[in-house]
Amino acid sequence: MVDTATRALIAPLISSKPVDALAWYFALEHDARRTRIVARTDAGGHAVAFVAVCQTGIDLFRPMVVVRSEDSSALCDALREALSPNRQYLFSAPVTLRPDIERVAYLYGETTNHIYALHQADYKPVVNIMVQASRTPDGLLRASISARDGSTAAEAGTTWISSRYAEVYVRVVEALRSRGLGRSVVSAVTNQILELGRTPIYSASDDNLPSQHVAQALGYHDTEGWELSGALGLK
């Protein structure tokens, strides 16, 4: 469990920009009972690195790890303390911290993602009467389109919602792609996010051009921020 003093200590290491939205949520706003933070400070008591380990519904067996650092040695030291041997974690980190992370951890299936954000004035909604919008039991947003057999053809939703932002995910059955279904469900979730007064965030890997096109078609703009994500395990 993390306390408010520790969160206040590390807050200066995280900006309020969209590229830091995920780290802000998990390090500063995620359920304190399911969050552990290992921080390192300088001689003046200011935080120079932290590792936040969060138990989430994204993956019940692999906690989410987010990191920020101004000191390579401090980050490596914090990672060694925060991570358990022989266990795998999901992670998100600035691309610039990859060399430091790889000094103490193996990376698995990592991708480099574009971070997109949407200004409400730029929103280009898509209306599709086949979309069913809802909320999950834990308060997250969801929109889906059913196939003729009743299975889910396309689905979008939020992976987390913070006080400022909400991140959108999308999944479309491979055989049904290129029909605009992804755009329709992402539009529905985007609309829900805007109604909540949050800024929608959307990430797409560098090589996933169709996913990038979905975001761009709805008015999302590339923030030119980059995020490294995947799985890691302590060496």
pLDDT score at 86:
96
Work out the pLDDT band at 95, boundaries 50, 70, 90: very high
pLDDT score at 179:
87
pLDDT in tens, 177-203: 888 899 999 999 999 999 999 999 999
pLDDT score at 119:
96
Domain ranges of the chain: 4-114+229-234, 119-219
Q: What is the mean pLDDT of residues 121-126?
A: 96
Residue 42 has pLDDT above 90, yes or no: yes
Per cent of the chain over pLDDT 70 is: 100
Q: What is the mean pLDDT of residues 33-46?
A: 98
Pick 4-114+229-234's CATH classification: 2.120.10, 2.30.29, 1.10.8, 3.40.630. 3.40.630
Q: What is the mean pLDDT of residues 57-86?
A: 97
User: Three-state SS for 69?
Assistant: strand
pLDDT score at 109:
96
Do the domains 119-219 and 4-114+229-234 match in fold? Answer: yes
User: Three-state SS for 149?
Assistant: coil
Residue 175 has pLDDT above 90, yes or no: no
Q: Is 129 left (phi over 0), alpha (psi -120 to 50) or beta?
A: alpha
Q: 119-219 has which CATH code? A: 3.40.630.30
pLDDT score at 148:
87
